[in-house]
Chain A
Amino acid sequence: KQEVTQIPAALSVPEGENLVLNCSFTDSAIYNLQWFRQDPGKGLTSLLLIQSSQREQTSGRLNASLDKSSGRSTLYIAASQPGDSATYLCAVRPHYQLIWGAGTKLIIKP
């Protein structure tokens, strides 16, 4: 059974720092992996989608990597800003259904 783990559960860093969020999954047989952010009381915003054949994807200050063989993905946030404060969720797609991690709650201190 596919399981997705995100560590740490919470992270607080000063503004301006570069940071890495981790996502690990137990079964490497996935079609793709998607990173989302969720602001308190709000919906989910898709950040990046990485297909199983890709190693990384970039969007602005965000870079997501995928190592299927080791069951790991990282989300790199460069030059963090207070507006980056949110919960970040990763989800893998072994078939039509997304399997979700519990998220990392990120706080960027001004």
Chain B
Amino acid sequence: DAGITQSPRHKVTETGTPVTLRCHQTENHRYMYWYRQDPGHGLRLIHYSYGVKDTDKGEVSDGYSVSRSKTEDFLLTLESATSSQTSVYFCAIALAGGKGLYNEQFFGPGTRLTVL
């Protein structure tokens, strides 16, 4: 357990509304990631962060933005949710030191988002 929590755990929203998912970690990890998991596509990286206010895009970043104003919180925002963003969203951290972003990753419990 790497001290990762995600909120909310479940959310149902309507197309066109903004949605923010929160990832919170208690152990001061530097590297944080947002993934989505969909049947037939596996896990795909949305955005990642390598420090406070330092973020970058992953392979499926369109329609998503992130912010990290504190080490412990990494927020994922769907600015105008679409049905194609219905998915399970996972936050992950990588331990510091060694190879940094290449280190072993540990995952949060996930958020199931449904966009109607």
Contacts and interface: CB of A to CB of B under 8 A. Distances in A.
Contacts, number: 44
B74 interface: no
A100 B58 CA distance: 14
A26 interface: no
Interface residues of A, number: 21
Interface in B7-51: 42-45, 48
Q: How large is the interface on B (under 10, 10 to 19, 20 to 34, 35 or more residues)?
A: 10 to 19
Interface string A79-100: 0000000000101010111101
Given A31-B99, A97-B58, A97-B59, A46 B45 contact: no
Contacts of B42: 89, 100-103
A42 B105 contact: no
Contact of A96 (B43, B101, B104): B101
Contact of B108 (A43, A89, A101): A43
